[in-house]
Structure 1
Amino acid sequence: MEPIQQAHLAEPGLLVIDVAGADDATVMAFQDAIAQMWAMATAERTTRDPGQPGVRIRMYSGLRQVIEETSSPESAAR
């Protein structure tokens, strides 16, 4: 695989996440896990480099936009 390229953002707290994995299912599962914690722009598909193994995905996140956990029935009863 080609090296992951740096990306520079204009504002602190913004994050670009480049993920390389063996297959689509692996990188999509990683994206889903991260998306549950942070507000982020998710990707619809992966990319492949011709002649290279594996797939890539790029996600964008604002670290200041943390997703609030939903309250559980136990905490709502208190």
Structure 2
Amino acid sequence: MRPITEAHVAQPGLVVVEIAAADDDTAFAFQDQLAARWATAAAERTTRNPGEPGVRLRCYLDMRQNPH
């Protein structure tokens, strides 16, 4: 994964979420739950780290834009 930059967390309410899950379906299901609550820049694919179990996914949330 690429490094987190200052722009990702430049203001209060901006959050970087890194998800570790057993499989793609689980990771994307969790991301969907986050996106249902907050404005989310969703990831389109997961990554796998050699020698580590499961998959990883990173998404970006703006908690200032809560639709609920």
- TM bin (shorter chain): 0.7 to 0.9
What is the total number of aligned residue pairs between the two structures?
A: 64
1:7 touches 1:16 (CA, 8 Å); kept in 2?
A: no
One-letter amino acid of the counterpart of residue 19, structure 1: I
Could you tell me which amino acid in structure 1 is paired with residue 67 of structure 2? Answer: I
What is the CA–CA distance in structure 2 between the aligned matches of 1:65 and 1:6, rounded to whole Å? 21
| 1:34 alignment partner, SS class | helix
| Partner SS for 1:28 | helix
Cα deviation for residue 53 of structure 1 reads 1.1
Q: CA deviation at 1:51?
A: 1.9
Structure 1 stretches of 4+ with a deviation exceeding 2 A read 5-8
Q: What does the per-residue CA deviation read over 1:41-75, in whole Å, with 9 as the maximum and x for residues that have no partner?
A: 0000000001211000001011010124xxxxxxx
CA radius of gyration, larger in: 1
Computed over aligned residues only, the root mean square deviation of the Cα atoms, in angstroms, reads: 1.8
Give TM-score, length-normalised by structure 1.
0.73
Give the structure 1 partner of residue 45 of structure 2.
45
Residue 34 of structure 1: aligned partner: 34
The amino acid of 2:62's aligned partner reads: G
Structure 2: gaps (5+ residues): none
Q: Which blocks of at least 5 consecutive residues in structure 1 are unaligned?
A: 69-78
Q: Share of identical aligned residues, percent?
A: 53
How far apart in 1 are the matches of 2:18 and 2:5? 10
